[in-house]
């Protein structure tokens, strides 16, 4: 079976092709980062317009890369939520129209299901059940994943997502958008112990997170260190703050992951989503997993952030498992859509 996947939930346009036998055959991607950078964040209307511009060229690119035609495609999977409504509607309308023209099925796919399943694309070592940490710009959630559509939410952020906290703190430090990777880079030059940030919600039971306090703490620390944009920066102090902030986020995620693994008794932790690309997080989780005789797995770096491959792969898994595909002519898009409601 072969599935074409379309991702347009935010600021990446992705078109990919996944096959039962040949795996990932094409993964065409366009990131709108440069366009949104001058506004310091994603502008929804610009994102929608850019998806309109990029979908056809990316589709052509993906078909050429996979060396296949419409006749080889069994279904078209598209992100139907959660995400920016306008952006979702572009992908959903495009996918539905293409499926109509090509006379094949259209499958709405949950964006987070894509993030959760894509680590399985490259690795035969990952088996259900596993515990998953989903850390992106919009979500910080822990799941028990027992199988396809068997996702139990164990805990989540009550306010900002970890990626959002990275991005907002980076902005306070005067770093360019998107700040997460920039802050991580700066943190490498920081000295540990100069600043000490709190580890929110770790001293009470449960698996929920809260990251908005860290951002506020960062703002106060930056003000006290007189590093506001007008008072041009002391680069070492900025790096020290970035280091302390990153360490606090990583520590907090690690503490909750340990707790989650104790609760589920699983042997494998799968880390997905954009913040999963963070090197410090990966190193700390790996050290702990080795000591605890557990396994921690990630998608490859380029599949951590949004892409079409994760949607094509989730669609393929659903198709192979014989899950219902809505073959109505509806264009399905939901800006807010808890993954648990999928079940
Ligand atoms: O999964 P993703 O591409 O988009 C959402 O679905 O949100 O994640 C994007 C998020 C952004 O907040 C970005 O700053 C963050 O992931 N991110 C990182 C790193 N790379 C991406 N955060 C920390 N360290 C990184 N290396
Ligand atoms: Zn995402």
Pocket test for ligand 1, best of 13, 117, 180, 311 (most atoms within 8 A of CB): 180
Going by C-alpha positions, the residue among 325, 270, 321 that lies closest to residue 109 is 325
Does residue 285 contact residue 257 with C-beta atoms inside 8 Å?
Answer: yes
Distance 257 CA to ligand 2 centre (A): 20
pLDDT average per 10 residues of sequence, the chain (343 residues) = 98 98 98 92 96 98 98 97 97 97 95 93 90 95 94 96 96 92 97 96 94 94 73 80 98 98 97 94 97 93 94 97 82 91 61
Counting atoms of ligand 1 from 1, which one is nearest the CA of 180?
A: 14
The residue whose CA has the least distance to atom 10 of ligand 1 is: 137
CA gap 335, 9 in Å, rounded: 9
pLDDT at 227: 62
Distance 212 CA to ligand 1 centre (A): 16
Counting atoms of ligand 1 from 1, which one is nearest the CA of 273?
A: 1
- Would you state the structure tokens that stand for residue 300, as one six-digit string? 């490859």
| SS3 assignment, position 230 | coil
28 CB-near residues (< 8 Å, 6+ apart):
14, 15, 16, 58, 59, 61, 62, 65, 308
**DSSP per-residue string spanning 236-266:** HHHHHHHHHHHHHHHHHHHHHHHHHHHHH--
| Alpha helix ranges (H) inside 67-178 | 85-102, 111-117, 119-122, 162-172
Distance 297 CA to ligand 2 centre (A): 17
Q: Which ligand ends up closest to the CA of 162?
A: 1
| Alpha helix ranges (H) inside 265-278 | none
CA gap 241, 272 in Å, rounded: 26
CA gap 286, 26 in Å, rounded: 30
Model pTM score? 0.92
Going by C-alpha positions, the residue among 109, 158, 132, 148 that lies closest to residue 276 is 132
pLDDT at 168: 94
Residues with CB under 6 A from ligand 1: 10, 136-138, 163, 166-167, 178-181, 184, 273-275, 277-278, 305-306
The torsion defined by the Cα of 205, 206, 208 and 212, in degrees rounded to 10, comes to 0
CA gap 50, 335 in Å, rounded: 18
The residue whose CA has the least distance to atom 8 of ligand 1 is: 274
- Would you state the structure tokens that stand for residue 262, as one six-digit string? 């104790």
Distance 232 CA to ligand 2 centre (A): 34
C-alpha distances in Å from residue 156, one per residue of 168, 200, 209? 19, 13, 6
Q: Helices (H) and strands (E) in the chain — how many of each? A: 11, 10
Distance 228 CA to ligand 1 centre (A): 24
pLDDT at 343: 45
């Amino acid at each position: 079976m072969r599935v074409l996947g379309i991702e347009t939930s935010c600021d990446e346009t992705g078109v990919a092709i996944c096959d039962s036998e040949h795996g990932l055959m094409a993964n065409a991607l366009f990131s709108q980062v440069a366009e949104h950078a001058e506004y310091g964040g994603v502008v929804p209307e610009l994102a929608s317009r850019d998806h309109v511009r990029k979908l056809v060229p990316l589709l052509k690119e993906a078909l050429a890369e996979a060396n296949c035609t419409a006749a080889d495609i069994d279904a078209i999977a598209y992100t139907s939520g959660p995400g920016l409504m306008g952006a979702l509607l572009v992908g959903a309308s495009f996918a539905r129209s293409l499926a109509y023209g090509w006379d094949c099925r259209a499958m709405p796919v949950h964006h987070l299901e894509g993030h959760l399943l894509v680590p399985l694309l490259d690795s035969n070592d990952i088996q259900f059940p596993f515990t998953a940490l989903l850390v992106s710009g919009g979500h910080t959630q822990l799941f028990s994943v027992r199988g396809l559509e068997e996702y139990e939410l164990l805990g989540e952020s009550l306010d900002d997502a970890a990626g959002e906290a990275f991005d907002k703190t980076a902005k306070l430090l005067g770093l360019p958008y998107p700040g997460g990777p920039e802050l991580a880079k700066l943190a490498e030059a920081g000295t540990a112990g100069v600043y000490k940030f709190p580890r929110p919600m770790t001293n009470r039971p449960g698996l929920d997170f809260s990251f908005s306090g860290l951002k506020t703490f960062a703002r106060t620390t930056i003000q006290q260190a007189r590093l506001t944009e007008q008072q041009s920066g002391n680069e070492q102090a900025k790096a020290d703050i970035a280091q302390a902030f990153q360490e606090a986020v990583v520590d907090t995620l690690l503490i909750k992951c340990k707790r989650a693994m104790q609760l589920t008794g699983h042997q494998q932790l799968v880390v997905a989503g954009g913040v999963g690309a963070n090197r410090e997080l990966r190193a700390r989780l790996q050290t702990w997993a080795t000591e605890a005789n557990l396994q921690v797995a990630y998608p490859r770096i380029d599949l951590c952030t949004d892409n079409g491959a994760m949607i094509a792969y989730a669609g393929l898994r659903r198709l192979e498992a014989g899950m219902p595909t809505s073959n109505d002519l509806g264009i399905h898009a939901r800006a807010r859509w808890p993954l648990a409601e999928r079940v």
